[in-house]
Structure 1
Amino acid sequence: MQSTARSSSALVLVLAVAAMAAAAAAAQQLVPCMYIFGDSLVDNGNNNNLLSLARANYRPYGVDFSGGPPGRFTNGLTVVDMLADMLGFRPPLIPAYAAAQPSDLARGLNFASGAAGIRSETGNNLGRHYPLSEQVEHFKAAVRQMGPNASSPERLGRCIFYVGMGSNDYLNNYFMPNYYTTAQSYDPDAYAADLLQEYSRQLAALHALGARKFAVAGVGEIGCIPYELARINTQQGGGGGSGTAPPATAGTGVSISLGGVGLTIGGGGGAPANASMSSSRTGGVCNDEINSAIAIYNRGLLAMVKRFNRGQKLPGSTFVFLDTVRAGRALVAGAAAHGFTVLDRGCCGVGRNNGQITCLPMQQPCDDRSKYVFWDAFHPTEAANRIYAAMAFNSTSAADAYPINIRQLAAI
């Protein structure tokens, strides 16, 4: 009898300690939940079971992410993985919606999908994926499943909503004139305006479902990614360039399937051979036509964030604009200080700049991933993602995160 009492007391003590530990962990979590919308830069496995070439559920993708689920388009963690960690979320990380359990819904979900865009047809050249509108519908379904407490406007209004869209609307749409007609129907200004109008509608839909704290990422200078450098160098007959820029989502050329795994071969996307080129920040060349179009879009996105923050259309909301172009330029400028020595080619891949074909199944990647800015033709390494996440979360410059950073957004 005494032994039973002691056992019972011990169990109560263990449960009490566990409860205190859980409470301490919860106290360190800055927001109750986090929801992620985007493309392959932040997709963590939603495309794994789709009939799609935009998948990364094979090695060497995730080579430095042992023990975790496959599907990230990099060697390790993505920007949103790191932001979630900075916000106090601990492993398991925010799960992919496609693999989520009912218990995950209230804590956070990742709805991002490789090849996705703002326009519904964007990325169709790569097969099935979830465009932004469908990602928002998935969130709507999740809200219905959560129950009234978890999905209350008061609770969702304290959560972080990370949204990063637009790269594929250029790489896998506008600058693929042989597949899409948008370049014939819109000049760059009109196309950016059309994208932002649809973007605004989808953000308003999230607001109607309870979202209030938004971190909106701009599009990087995708005219300088290894894929574009490889195309320029091929057209010029030259060697690999020496400059690069911040990451972009998977673009496309000719796509093939090898053993059920999607691969992308450069050549079909990007600007035509007579596109204007400019010097990159470290002496190479970039596709200036693409970068100019991206600049128009980013200016419009920042203006949209400023309008939303005035509170007239989406009352009670706070939007943060993350300047991806500036973050990439800062990384290149401080490359040596961060230990980066390879700025213009992927850690794995095939062809010039490792940018003409994405990582082959079971391909041996570079030995020291920490020295590479790019993992493959389109996506950053975990080391680069860490720099981008730190800037978004901590930068005190409104030029990096406008008007406040993500840490400050969480505190509102």
Structure 2
Amino acid sequence: MQTKARSPLAALVVLLVVTMAAAAQPQQQLVPCMYIFGDSLVDSGNNNNILSLARANYQPYGIDFTGAAPPGRFTNGLTVVDMLADMLGLRPPLIPAYAMAQPADFARGLNFASGAAGIRPETGNNLGRHYPFSEQVEHFRAAVRQMGPNAGSPERLGRCIFYVGMGSNDYLNNYFMPNYYTTAQSYDPAAYAADLLQEYSRQLAALHALGARKFVLAAVGDIGCIPYELARISNNQDDDDAAPSSDSGTGISISLGGVGLTVGGGGGGGSTQAANASRSGGNGGGGACNEEINSAIAIYNRGLLSMVKRLNGGGGGGRMAGATVVYLDTVRTGRAVAASAAAHGFEVLDRGCCGVGRNNGQITCLPMQQPCGDRSKYVFWDAFHPTEAANRIYAARAFNSSAAAGDAYPINVSQLAAI
């Protein structure tokens, strides 16, 4: 029997139906659970109800988040770990913040991250209460006890993803805040990085002892190029050309979004040695990056990568038995995003979508402030944190990166999940 050929329109309809049916299929869950440790880049509300200036549970934070109330994320919508959890098949619902989770949530995953937190326990104390890395690990220990012998068994936890993103505040809210902390007087950048990584390693060992085997460790990005630092550099340059004011170099300390801010002065970040040209483009002022901070971060990131190689067994002693550790090169990813900004729809790379002052970076997003209209065109949501659009690219590259792209080493997150 002769079969009548479909018309091009009919064929297109069939293709659309098949595509929609495939999209409707539930995504395969690649791991049984995910546990998250970090700072405001991945905090999902743990600071909401504590005495802290590092909080984001007010509008317009979460303006694009599905739900009625601002969820406590330091962005307009989802964070990078929200998206990674989705790619791992762990959504919906989202991985809950530990402070708001129910015991029934514990086995599937918890987010322990806390705005202003660092590796060192004193980091971020200028902003009030928060949960440093060591305390986040203790919260996980308590959760494991509540999960019981089945859900909290080392065998099951060994198949889960443990994401850690720490270190930014140890520089922004510690080392480069000499009017509040003494670490810059006690350590040169290399010694400080070594001290941070020693404590980092201790906390990873504690997680490993509880059963963690699959780790994702995010490097610290080029924080010398965030809108806050660009605004500070512009402010310092203006001060050099004008008579000094009474608040020059000190300013008024304000914080509403995750790290310390200073209005009208140097921001407590120490001396600034700026590059001659900014790595960020776009409009809105803002010249060179703070290369003093970026250089210190580069030392830390090199040490973190060396630690990852050692823990994986490629660098001598110190390997964690049975563990696989992935390093996310967020500096490389950030520069790749900047280099191909137009292809991603980004038009503004050096200003916050929401904020006050130069680069929308001198004061972070104020309660009920009107943000930019099209968040998809901005890399930065506020003075410090990426937009959901930027987070989506960071997550996709971490999950799918090839060896040649180099966003993840030695394997990407999807490959880690498959082990």
What TM-score, normalized to structure 2?
0.86
Distance in 1 (alpha carbons) for counterparts of 2:414 and 2:65? 25
Cα shift at 1:237: 2.3
In the other structure, the counterpart of 1:237 is 238
SS in 2 for 1:171: helix
Contact 1:263 1:357 in 2 (8 A): no
Contact 2:34 2:109 in 1 (8 A): yes
In the other structure, the counterpart of 1:130 is 131
In the other structure, the counterpart of 1:408 is 415
The question of 1:271 aligning with 2:269 is answered yes
Cα shift at 1:400: 1.1
Change (3 A) 1:257 1:395: closer
In the other structure, the counterpart of 1:391 is 397
In the other structure, the counterpart of 2:387 is 381
In the other structure, the counterpart of 1:192 is 193
Change (3 A) 1:107 1:349: same
Could you tell me which of 324, 333, 344 is aligned with 1:338? 344
Contact 1:227 1:378 in 2 (8 A): yes
Cα shift at 1:270: 5.3
Identical-pair percentage? 82
In the other structure, the counterpart of 1:53 is 53
Distance in 2 (alpha carbons) for counterparts of 1:360 and 1:101? 31
In the other structure, the counterpart of 1:96 is 97
Cα shift at 1:378: 0.1
Distance in 1 (alpha carbons) for counterparts of 2:274 and 2:365? 28
Distance in 1 (alpha carbons) for counterparts of 2:109 and 2:166? 19
Question: In structure 2, what residue type is equivalent to 1:70?
Answer: P
In the other structure, the counterpart of 2:312 is 309
Is there any run of 5+ residues in structure 1 with no aligned partner, and where? 1-23, 239-251
Is there any run of 5+ residues in structure 2 with no aligned partner, and where? 1-24, 240-249, 282-286
Contact 1:265 1:356 in 2 (8 A): yes
Cα shift at 1:389: 0.3
Distance in 1 (alpha carbons) for counterparts of 2:309 and 2:37? 20
Change (3 A) 1:363 1:270: same
Change (3 A) 1:411 1:191: same
Question: In structure 1, what residue type is equivalent to 2:368?
Answer: M
SS in 1 for 2:150: coil
The question of 1:42 aligning with 2:52 is answered no
Distance in 2 (alpha carbons) for counterparts of 1:51 and 1:387? 33
Could you tell me which of 288, 292, 297 is aligned with 1:285? 288
The question of 1:294 aligning with 2:297 is answered yes
Change (3 A) 1:263 1:193: closer
Distance in 2 (alpha carbons) for counterparts of 1:97 and 1:253? 35
In the TM superposition, what whole-angstrom CA distance separates every residue of 1:343-395 from its partner, at most 9, and x where no partner exists?
00000100000000000100000000000000000000000000000000001
Cα shift at 1:253: 7.4
Cα shift at 1:257: 7.4
Distance in 2 (alpha carbons) for counterparts of 1:396 and 1:74? 28
Question: In structure 2, what residue type is equivalent to 1:191?
Answer: Y
Cα shift at 1:101: 0.3
Contact 2:235 2:266 in 1 (8 A): no
Contact 1:65 1:76 in 2 (8 A): yes
Change (3 A) 1:207 1:89: same
Distance in 2 (alpha carbons) for counterparts of 1:277 and 1:337? 26
Cα shift at 1:89: 1.1
Distance in 2 (alpha carbons) for counterparts of 1:91 and 1:340? 28
In the other structure, the counterpart of 1:220 is 221
Contact 2:48 2:72 in 1 (8 A): yes
SS in 1 for 2:162: strand
Distance in 2 (alpha carbons) for counterparts of 1:345 and 1:162? 28
Distance in 2 (alpha carbons) for counterparts of 1:192 and 1:261? 22
Distance in 1 (alpha carbons) for counterparts of 2:393 and 2:118? 25
Cα shift at 1:277: 3.3
Contact 2:236 2:266 in 1 (8 A): no
Q: How does 1:169-180 map to 2 (within 5 A)?
A: 169-180=170-181
Contact 2:272 2:291 in 1 (8 A): no
Contact 2:123 2:173 in 1 (8 A): yes
Change (3 A) 1:106 1:210: same
Contact 2:137 2:207 in 1 (8 A): yes
In the other structure, the counterpart of 1:10 is none
In the other structure, the counterpart of 2:369 is 363
In the TM superposition, what whole-angstrom CA distance separates every residue of 1:137-193 from its partner, at most 9, and x where no partner exists?
000000000010001111000000000000000000000000000000000000000
SS in 1 for 2:151: coil
In the TM superposition, what whole-angstrom CA distance separates every residue of 1:30-49 from its partner, at most 9, and x where no partner exists?
00000000000000000000
In the TM superposition, what whole-angstrom CA distance separates every residue of 1:69-114 from its partner, at most 9, and x where no partner exists?
6100000000000000000012210000000001000000000000
Question: In structure 1, what residue type is equivalent to 2:333?
Answer: A
Q: How does 1:56-71 map to 2 (within 5 A)?
A: 56-67=56-67, 70-71=71-72
In the other structure, the counterpart of 2:356 is 350
The question of 1:201 aligning with 2:199 is answered no
The question of 1:372 aligning with 2:378 is answered yes
Distance in 2 (alpha carbons) for counterparts of 1:261 and 1:58? 13
In the other structure, the counterpart of 1:108 is 109
Change (3 A) 1:268 1:109: farther
Distance in 2 (alpha carbons) for counterparts of 1:135 and 1:268? 32
* C-alpha RMSD of the superposition: 2.1
Change (3 A) 1:270 1:257: closer
In the other structure, the counterpart of 1:322 is 328
Change (3 A) 1:120 1:319: same
Cα shift at 1:274: 4.8
Cα shift at 1:255: 3.6
Distance in 2 (alpha carbons) for counterparts of 1:217 and 1:313? 19
Contact 1:204 1:314 in 2 (8 A): yes
Cα shift at 1:210: 0.3
Question: In structure 1, what residue type is equivalent to 2:325?
Answer: F
In the TM superposition, what whole-angstrom CA distance separates every residue of 1:263-312 from its partner, at most 9, and x where no partner exists?
84444645334534342225630011000000000000000000000085
SS in 1 for 2:149: coil
Change (3 A) 1:270 1:336: farther
